[in-house]
């Protein structure tokens, strides 16, 4: 990992947080203490923004950019399949290049596309919830959190049901790219997923071009055929990115919701009796235990920001969980309450030109699934150790054993 430039630090004010320590946890009291001392902390990787207002401002500031090559270089990756996929992805493009690719997606991935999926999402969630109701215990990640977004993503993209299991492994592993700095077997798993998913998408695109269907890949392929500004390689990269983005974050957010409701069974009862609170419950779940814990940026040019001189090349991270409980933006935000209307919006999906393309779909899946579960099942309780992903990046349980109370 690269270090922090000394010019970024404010030694007398800014605390230090070792976010790469294996024991680091976003629920650690030291993060709250650090937030009250200063708007940011220094870390072994770069600056960590802790307060809501400054974080939101930074995420919208065009002097901060995504830099895929610099991000991977921190972990020693300068070539290979991960590099070839991650560096040119849409989120790492800037200016007209970014606008050009986003324009193609915006043509076909519309609010109408998402709303058209609502009955399918509700029906799938109901079927899965009925299976859970027939059992005393379940492994929630395997039996609900994974199959729901996997099935929805496949329906959206036009992936045949016979390919679900193969597709699932790749899309889960490719999402580990944001935790690649933890090393171990993560780089190998991400590289294998990139290779497998890229090859699969290329074949699927060829099939859709020959026999178009009513799915997003068919529409994107046909749109690209009529838009010479977007190359075939760019479209492959875009679809690979959409595939993991439409799956991994949502499955972890669903599991995070269950952990949270297990800690707050009274709130589960409220949602079960008041399904009209679904939209508010989704925002509160994302605020309280987001599946995207850190948003990454790099400083593109020297400037001063709220007393901190930011030097070009500095790695800047938004500490989403801490900022989303900042009492300056969320009065009473130290309490999880789905009945409260919050004035500030969540940060998880980024902001400005980098706002997540899949935010509406993720919210829709959660908004349809959570009321179905709460209406059919009693409050969840965790009945065994929870296996978590590494905390930086996309975060949530990898295994979550639950027992639901009587409805």
The DSSP result for 111-179, as a single string, is HHHHHHTHHHHHHHHHHHHHHHHTSS-EEHIIIIITHHHHHHHHHHHT--GGGHHHHHHHHHHHGGGGG
Res 123: pLDDT: 98
Residue % of the chain over a pLDDT of 70: 97
Residues 336-351 pLDDT 10s = 999 999 999 999 998 7
Residue % of the chain over a pLDDT of 90: 66
CATH class name, domain 6-404 = mainly alpha
Mean pLDDT across 204-212: 92
Q: Whole-model pTM?
A: 0.91
Res 406: pLDDT: 59
Give the residue, 261 or 234, on which the prediction is more confident: 261
CA 321 – CA 161 distance, rounded (Å): 35
Residues 390-401 pLDDT 10s = 888 889 999 999
Instruction: Round the average pLDDT of the chain to a whole number and report it.
Output: 90
Residues 105-121 pLDDT 10s = 887 788 888 999 999 99
**Confidence grade of residue 12 (pLDDT, cut at 50, 70, 90):** low
Res. 7: pLDDT tops 80:
no
Give the residue, 283 or 161, on which the prediction is more confident: 283
CA 220 – CA 369 distance, rounded (Å): 28
CA 54 – CA 94 distance, rounded (Å): 22
Res. 243: pLDDT tops 90:
no
For residues 187, 216, 95, 230, the Cα torsion angle rounded to the nearest 10 degrees is 100
């Amino acid at each position: 990992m690269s270090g922090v430039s000394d010019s970024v630090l404010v030694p007398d004010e800014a605390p230090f947080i070792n976010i790469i320590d294996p024991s680091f946890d976003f629920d650690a009291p030291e993060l709250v203490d650090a937030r009250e001392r200063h708007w940011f902390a220094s870390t072994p990787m770069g600056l960590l923004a802790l307060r809501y207002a400054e974080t939101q401002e930074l995420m919208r500031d065009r002097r901060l950019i995504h830099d895929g090559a610099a991000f991977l270089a921190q972990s020693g990756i300068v070539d290979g399949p991960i590099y070839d996929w991650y560096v040119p992805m849409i989120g790492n493009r800037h200016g007209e290049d970014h606008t050009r690719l986003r324009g193609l997606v915006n043509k076909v991935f519309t609010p109408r596309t998402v709303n058209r999926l609502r009955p399918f999402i509700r029906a799938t969630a109901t079927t899965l919830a009925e299976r859970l109701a027939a059992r005393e215990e379940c492994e929630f990640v395997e039996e609900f959190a994974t199959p729901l977004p996997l099935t929805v993503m496949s329906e959206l993209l036009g992936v045949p049901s016979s390919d679900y299991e193969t597709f699932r492994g790749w899309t889960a592993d490719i999402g580990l790219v944001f935790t690649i700095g933890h090393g171990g077997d993560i780089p190998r798993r991400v590289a294998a997923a990139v290779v497998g998913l890229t090859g699969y998408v290329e074949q699927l695109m060829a099939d859709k071009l020959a026999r178009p269907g009513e799915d997003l890949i068919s529409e994107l392929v046909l749109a690209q055929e009529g838009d010479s500004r977007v190359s075939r390689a760019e479209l492959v990269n875009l679809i690979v990115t959409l595939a993991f983005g439409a799956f991994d974050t949502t499955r972890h957010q669903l599991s995070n919701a269950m952990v949270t409701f297990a800690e707050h069974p009274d709130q589960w009862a409220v949602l079960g009796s008041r399904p009209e609170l679904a939209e508010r419950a989704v925002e509160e779940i994302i605020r309280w235990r987001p599946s995207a814990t850190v948003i990454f940026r790099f400083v593109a040019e020297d400037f001063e920001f709220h007393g901190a001189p930011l030097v070009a090349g500095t790695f800047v991270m938004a500490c989403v969980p801490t900022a989303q409980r900042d009492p300056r933006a969320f009065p009473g935000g130290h309490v999880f309450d789905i009945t409260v209307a919050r004035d500030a919006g969540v940060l998880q999906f980024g902001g400005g030109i980098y706002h997540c393309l899949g935010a509406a779909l993720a919210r829709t899946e959660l908004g349809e699934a959570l009321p179905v579960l709460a209406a059919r099942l009693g409050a969840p309780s965790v009945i065994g150790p929870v296996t978590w992903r590494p905390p930086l990046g996309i975060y949530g349980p990898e295994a979550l054993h639950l027992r639901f109370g009587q409805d």
